[in-house]
Homo-oligomer: A and B are copies of this chain.
Amino acid sequence: MNRFSNEEIATVYKVIAERRDIRHFIPEPIEPELLSRLLNAAHLAPSVGFMQPWRFIRICDQSLRTKIYRMVEQERINTAHALHQREDEFMRLKVEGVRECGELLVVALMDQREKHVFGRRTLPEMDLASVACAIQNIWLAARAEGIGMGWVSLFDPDQLRFALNMPADAKPVALLCLGHVEAFYQKPMLELEGWAARQKLQDVVYENTWLNNAKINRESE
């Protein structure tokens, strides 16, 4: 039948609930077979018009990792300035784990995407949506394997593109820090740190028209 067993369904909801965006790692490598499983899970993601626009670049070179760390650090400072009143609060957060994580991946949109019109004529950004689905697959698979992951977007995409010799029409969209962790946060780190609060589900679900709140079963609130 189409439906998974009750135990399997519970596992899928469990991994979704326990996945965290991680910035604290134990500096220990990830086994090659485990990394292959994660990349394979990414590659099984849906993509608009089956275009498979994702490209993954493993950063194995230590000097390249240091270079990327410096880019992130610069953008962290630029972001802090842009946040005005929340600058100090932001600077106290740990927002990346680029140096400590066991494995650093750059995820990029492929080049020559303009050839792909299916599902993208009015919404060309669907390529990024597909890449994000692939990254979410890695995130969930990694959580089940006991591996933490953080998606860092604190970088200048042109600078990173240049450092990795990417063509002008490709674009890096994620730095994925993957690694072993002491523990997974009990809640999202930015919630624990008081940066932002979880919205109520009922406030983000509408019916037929904008801001017309739908009735949502209480079980899920």
List residues of chain A with CB under 8 Å of any chain B CB: 1-4, 7-9, 11-17, 19, 21, 32-33, 35-37, 39-41, 43-46, 48-52, 54-61, 64, 75, 78-79, 82-83, 90, 110, 117-123, 125-126, 128-133, 135-137, 139-141, 143-147, 151-157, 164-167, 170, 173-174, 180-181, 183-184, 188, 190-191, 195-196, 198-199, 201, 204-210, 214, 216-217, 219-221
Contacts and interface: CB of A to CB of B under 8 A. Distances in A.
Given A64-B208, A206-B57, A208-B61, A13 B41 contact: yes
Indicate how many identical chains form the complex: 2
A30 B16 CA distance: 21
A183 B117 CA distance: 28
A203 B145 CA distance: 25
A179 to B, nearest CB: 11
Contacts of A82: 117, 121
Given A57-B208, A90-B118, A141-B13, A46 B19 contact: yes
